[in-house]
Amino acid sequence: MQLLKNSVGRKILMAITGQLMVLFVIVHLIGNSSIFVGPDGINSYAEHLHSLGPLVWVFRLAMLAFILVHAFYGIQVSIENSKANPSKYAINNKLKANFASESMIWTGLLLALFVIYHISHFTLRLTSDVSAFAGQVPGNVFGMVTGSFSHGIIASTYVAAMVVLCLHLFHGIQSFFQTMGWNGDKSLPVISQVGRVLAFVFLIGYSSIPVFILAGIIK
């Protein structure tokens, strides 16, 4: 509880939950990439997840808890930082900031909205484009995904969400090491570059799926 009573503790908790979600993004990308193998690849992956039974939902609930904690303290820390920065330091702060760091609160909120849509879309299958697959668990996941991403607006929505994810992680990964005190003057540029590369890998990896399906490469 003492950890939550000061801004440093809250930042550490926010950083840890953020990186746990980054690990999930990595695992999720590896699993989703099985669609490039063909129907058997992603359908087998989905069947394996389904065979885990309640463990999958325990994991999902844990991820939801991480998201809520990360979002709550992210908003709180942003408000605290805004109040703590005197106007006379505004110019100096602007020189050190960039678009990714200044828009963290907004990219985070957009990602939260996307997560709600994504769960409603492919997990709960509530949207009209996948309603025919609602009674099939896991069912023909390949057919569901390719059918959905054949709609330009849906494919574009996912690509746009991955651009937002890239922006969020562009600063977020670097911020994690700074918050934990694991960076120095020499290592910070390297950490920043690695974070940016990883963010772009996520952007390309995730976006390639709807783009390839929309282009007819995956069908």
The pLDDT value recorded for residue 191 is 83
pLDDT bucket at 215, cuts 50 / 70 / 90 = very high
SS3 (DSSP) at 16: helix
Taking CB atoms within 8 Å and a gap of at least 24, the contacts of 138-143 are 138/43, 138/46, 138/47, 138/49, 138/50, 139/46, 140/39, 140/43, 141/42, 141/43, 141/45, 141/46, 142/35, 142/38, 142/39, 142/41, 142/42, 142/43, 143/39
The pLDDT value recorded for residue 2 is 60
As a whole number, mean pLDDT of residues 176-185 equals 76
More reliable by pLDDT, 6 or 114: 114
As a whole number, mean pLDDT of residues 121-146 equals 94
- How does the average pLDDT of the chain come out, rounded? 87
pLDDT bucket at 83, cuts 50 / 70 / 90 = confident
More reliable by pLDDT, 2 or 96: 2
Q: What is the pTM of this model?
A: 0.86
